[in-house]
Amino acid sequence: MTKTYINIDGDVRDASSLKIPADRTFRGAWTFNGDVVEIDMAKARDIHKDNLRAERAPRLEALDVDYMKALEAGSGAAEIAAKKKTLRDITADAKIANAADADALKALDLATLLGE
């Protein structure tokens, strides 16, 4: 029979003796607390912000093209610049800092934060 181990920052433990979160979204934020694997919310927030940055990247790229077209046309650049700023500032949204647990944090995807 094969054993499964959990390695968190070099601390390796037999998974069969641990209570492990079912959702691995924030696997990089796991910490040991006795026989329970918990989610370090500060680390989870950092992971979530990185995920939001990756999710917003294609939108920012598309807006860059639209911005250049607006500059050439002589109108609309300010509105596009405002949209880009909103996307860049999304990782500073207070909802992320105020998320009580990993499920609440995970629910804050880009569309939700933008009110789409």
Instruction: Please count the other Cβ atoms lying within 10 Å of the Cβ belonging to residue 100.
Output: 8
Between CA 87 and CA 90 the distance in angstroms is 5
What are the pLDDT tens digits along the chain (116 aa)?
789 999 999 999 999 999 999 999 999 999 999 999 999 999 999 999 999 999 999 999 999 999 999 999 999 999 999 999 999 999 999 999 999 999 999 999 999 999 99
Angle between helices 41-73 and 77-89 (to 10 degrees): 170
- Taking the model in full, what pTM does it have? 0.90
The two structure tokens encoding residue 21: 């979160």
Between CA 42 and CA 92 the distance in angstroms is 14
In SS3 terms, 39-95 reads as ECHHHHHHHHHHHHHHHHHHHHHHHHHHHHHHHHHCCCHHHHHHHHHHHHHHHHCHH
